[in-house]
Amino acid sequence: MTGTVGADRSADLAAARELMDGASKLVLTTHVQPDGDGIGSEVALAYHLRAIGKDVVILNPHPTPPRFRFLEPSPPIVPFDPAVAERALSTADALVVLDISVPNRLGKLESYVMEYRPKTLIIDHHADQGQIDGLDLRNVAAAATGELVYELLESWSVQWTPEIATALYAAIAYDTGGFRFANTRQVTHRIAADLITRGADTLLANENLFESYSVPRIKLLARVLDSFELSANGRVATAVVSVGLMTELGAVNEDVEGIVEVLRSIDGVVVATLIKEVGPSATKVSFRSSGPYNVNAFASRFGGGGHVNAAGAFLREPLDTVVERVIPAVRDEFDPTVGAAGRA
C-alpha cells in the first residue's frame, strides 16, 4: 500500500501507529553509511517501541560510525550480517525504514527486505519518489527525518525520556548543520526547544556531531583545501577524493562528511561538488548549494537526488569517468554567464 504524502497528517500518523501497534517484532533500518539523522531517528523510535513491550531489532547496512556511537542504545544497533538479516526479517511482523525511500539505499539489506516483505512503514523527508512498497509517511518540507519521528511520537502520547529527546535532537541538529542550513524552519527550532525541555543532552550531541574530528579527517580536509578548484567566476567549487588519498591518510568514509559544506562556505561559492571514489567502478558525488540553486534537480541527471540545497548521487562508474562527466556539467549548469540555469 502507498500512503498519502503530507496531505492528511493525522490519518497518516494514525495508520503508522496502527501498523506498529499491530506488530510484536519489528526491524528498524536506515540507509547505507548511516548518518546522524537516520541513526538518531531509529534509536528514538526503538526506545519508545521497546518501552511499550515490542521486540525491536535495529539492523543497518553498515556499522555505526564512531561519530554517532554516543547514540547507541541497549541492545545496540546490529551491523549487517547475512544470517542475522535473514533471521530478523524472516520473523519480523513489521519493518520501519527511516531516512530513505529508495531500495538500493538499503545496500545489502535490500535483497532480504524484498524476499521477506514484512509490512513496511517508510519515514522519510527526501524528495525522491517513494520506491519501497509500504505506508509512506513523508514530509519533504521537514528539515530531518527526526522531525517526523518527533511528530509521530507526539501523536502517540509517548513517555518522553532524555534518551529519546537526545536522539531526536541529534538527528535534527545533524541534518541542519547545527541549525545553520536553509532547511531550518521555525518549527525546527520549536521542536528542538521542546526536546531540550524534555531532557535532550545538547552538549553531548553537539560535541560528538560537530566538535570531535579524527586526525585523518583534519589531514584530508587540508589536502582537499589545497587542491580544490574554483570556476564560473569563483561561484563553483569542485574537489576530488580518491581511494589512494584515503588510504594514504588512513581516512574512513566518515572523515569525508562535512567537507563539501566547507567548500560551499568559501566566500562567493554558491555550488560545491565533492567527488569521492568508493571503489574501482563506484563513485559518490555530493552537491551543496545556497539560495535558489537547485542541486536536487541537477543530481537527478545522474540518478541521484535529495534536497534543493543538498543532494548526491552514486554512480557505478570509475572515478575518472565521473570526473569527466560531472565537473564540466556542474560548471555549465551553474556558470552565471550561461543564464538562469540551475535556479529552482
Whichever domain contains 316, its CATH number is 3.10.310.30
pLDDT tens-digit map of 97-107: 999 988 888 99
Query: Are 104 and 125 part of one and the same domain?
Result: yes
pLDDT computed for residue 101 by the predictor: 86
Consecutive H or E run containing 337: none
Q: Are 311 and 296 in contact (CB under 8 A)?
A: yes
Environment class of residue 257 by beta-carbon count within 10 Å: exposed (0-12), middle (13-18) or buried (19+)?
middle
pLDDT score of 130 more than 70 = no
Q: Same structural domain for residues 95 and 69?
A: yes
Question: Does the pLDDT of residue 43 top 90, yes or no?
Answer: yes
How high is the pLDDT of residue 1?
36
229 vs 5: which has the higher pLDDT:
229
Q: Same structural domain for residues 278 and 259?
A: yes
Cβ density class 56-74: b for 16+ within 10 Å, e for less: bbbbbbbebbebbebbebe
Q: What is the pLDDT of residue 47?
A: 97
- CA distances for 305 relative to 2, 172, 262, 295, 296, angstroms: 21, 20, 20, 8, 5
Q: Which residues contact 120 (CB under 8 A, 6 or more apart)?
A: 94, 95, 96, 97, 113, 132, 133, 134, 135
Instruction: Indicate the residue among 163, 185, 210 that finishes a domain.
Output: 210
Q: What is the pLDDT of residues 230-243, one digit of tens each?
A: 999 999 999 999 99
pLDDT value at position 329? 95
Regarding whether 94 and 18 lie in a shared domain, the answer is yes
Mean predicted confidence (pLDDT) in 120-137? 87
What is the mean predicted confidence (pLDDT) over 181-193? 95
Does 233 share its domain with 308?
A: yes
Give the domain-ending residue among 178, 210, 242: 210
On the question of pLDDT at 341 being above 80, the answer is no
Query: Of the residues 210, 236, 258, which one is the last residue of a structural domain?
Result: 210
Crossing angle of helices 145-155 and 36-51, in 10° steps, is 20
How far apart (Å, rounded) are the C-alpha atoms in residues 303 and 12? 29
- CB neighbours of 281 closer than 8 A, spacing ≥ 6? 316, 317, 318
* pLDDT (average), residues 203-224: 95
232 and 101 in a common domain: no
The span from the CA of 216 to the CA of 30, in Å, is: 26
What is the number of domains present in the chain?
2
Considering the domain boundaries, does residue 107 fall inside one? yes
Task: Using the predicted structure, report yes or no on whether residue 7 has a pLDDT greater than 60.
Answer: no
pLDDT for 2 equals 39
> What are residue 231's DSSP bridge partners?
236
- The per-residue pLDDT for range 251-295, each reduced to its tens digit, is 998 899 899 999 999 999 999 999 999 999 999 999 999 989 999
Which DSSP helix (H) or strand (E) runs through 314? strand 310-315
Residues 247 and 202 in one domain: no
Question: Nearest CA to 228 among 237, 241, 218, 215?
Answer: 237
* 184 φ/ψ sector (left φ>0, alpha ψ -120 to 50, else beta): beta
Whether residue 81 is contained in a domain is answered as: yes
In a domain, 343, yes or no: no
Domain extent at residue 78: 9-210
* 147 shares its domain with 243: no
Mean pLDDT of the 284-312 span? 92
| Region of residue 258 (phi > 0: left; psi between -120 and 50: alpha; otherwise: beta) | left
Residues 27 and 98 reside in one and the same domain = yes
342, part of any domain: no
Are both 48 and 121 inside the same structural domain?
A: yes
Q: What is the CATH number of the domain that holds 170?
A: 3.90.1640.10
Q: Is residue 20 part of a domain?
A: yes
Residue 2 maps to a domain: no
Q: Whose grid coordinates read 542475522?
A: 84
Q: Is the pLDDT of residue 132 over 80?
A: yes
**Over residues 9-17, mean pLDDT:** 93
In-domain check, residue 130: yes
pLDDT of residue 168: 98
Structure confidence at residue 6 as a pLDDT band (50, 70, 90): very low
- Cα 274 to chain centroid, rounded: 16
List strands edge to edge, sheet with 229-231: 229-231, 236-241, 271-279, 282-289, 310-315, 305-306
Residue 137 belongs to some domain of the structure: yes
Do 244 and 202 reside in the same domain of the chain?
no
pTM of the model: 0.87
Q: Which residue has the higher pLDDT, 254 or 186?
A: 186
Asked if 308 and 206 sit in the same domain, the reply is no
